[in-house]
Amino acid sequence: MSEIFPVESIVRESVENDYSNSPFLHVRDDIGISLLCHTANAMNLEVQRHQKLIFEVRDGQKSIVFRQNSPENSAVYAYCARQKHIAKKLMADAGIPVPAGDVFEDYPSALRYFLEFGGEVAVKPSDGSSGAGVSCGIGGEEEFNRAWKLARHHSARVIVEQNLRGQDIRVIVIGGKAEAAYVRTPAHVVGDGIHSIRDLMERKNRIRRNNPSLRYDPLRNVDLLERRNISLDTIPSTGERVQLTSVANTSAGGETVEVLGLLDAESRRIAERAALCFPGLVQVGVDLMYCGGVPSAAHSPVYVIEVNSNPGICDAVFPSYGRAVDVPGKLLRHVLSTTTAASPRRLQVALAPVYRFSQFPRAFYQGERRQADLIKQAAFAHNLEIETLSDTVLKLRHGKFSCLFHGAIPECVRLVSRKITRNNDWMAEVLPCSEPHQQAGMGEGAGDESGRRLNHYRVLVIGNKVVAALYTQTAPQGMQTQVSRMDVSELIHPSVLSVLERTLQVIFDPFIAGIDLLMEDISRDACSQRWQVVNAVCNPHLGRHHFPDEGLPRDVAAVLLRELFPELPDSATRVACRVLVCGKVQHVGFRRWLKLMAVRHAVSGWVRNLEDGRVEAVLEGTERAVAQMVEQCKVGPLSAAVTHTEVESAPCFSRCSFSVLG
Residues catalogued as catalytic: 591, 609
Residues 6+ apart with CB under 8 A from 325: 172, 179, 180, 258, 260, 316, 317, 319
Q: Are 506 and 431 in contact (CB under 8 A)?
A: yes
Q: Report in angstroms the alpha-carbon separations of 654 from 557, 605, 647.
A: 22, 9, 20
Q: Where are the alpha helices (DSSP H) in 132-190?
A: 141-152
Question: Residue 501 belongs to what H/E stretch?
Answer: helix 496-506
Of the candidates 473, 482, 485, the one whose C-alpha atom is nearest the C-alpha of residue 545 is 485
Separation of alpha carbons 88 and 161, rounded Å:
11
Separation of alpha carbons 393 and 289, rounded Å:
27
Of the candidates 435, 407, 384, 375, the one whose C-alpha atom is nearest the C-alpha of residue 556 is 375
Of the candidates 254, 135, 263, 264, the one whose C-alpha atom is nearest the C-alpha of residue 184 is 254
Residues 6+ apart with CB under 8 A from 208: 214, 215, 217, 218, 219
Question: Residue 187 belongs to what H/E stretch?
Answer: none
The pairing of beta strand 465-477 with beta strand 348-349? parallel
Residues 6+ apart with CB under 8 A from 579: 616, 617, 618, 619, 630, 633, 645, 646, 647
Separation of alpha carbons 53 and 32, rounded Å:
10
Q: Are 287 and 170 in contact (CB under 8 A)?
A: yes
| SS3 labels along 2-15 | CCCCCHHHHHHHCC
Q: Are 570 and 467 in contact (CB under 8 A)?
A: no
CA angle 629, 634, 635 (to 5 degrees): 100
Residues 6+ apart with CB under 8 A from 23: none
DSSP state string for 426-446: HHHHHS-BS-GGGGGG--TT-
Of the candidates 179, 152, 183, 326, the one whose C-alpha atom is nearest the C-alpha of residue 254 is 183
If you ran DSSP here, which 8-state letter would residue 450 be given? T
Long-range CB pairs of 564-570 (<8 Å, 24+ gap) are 564/403, 564/410, 564/412, 565/382, 565/384, 565/396, 565/398, 565/401, 565/403, 567/398, 567/399, 567/401, 568/382, 568/398
Separation of alpha carbons 142 and 148, rounded Å:
10
Separation of alpha carbons 396 and 441, rounded Å:
44
The β-bridge partners of 465 are 348, 462
Of the candidates 111, 174, 109, the one whose C-alpha atom is nearest the C-alpha of residue 141 is 111
Residue type, 520: E
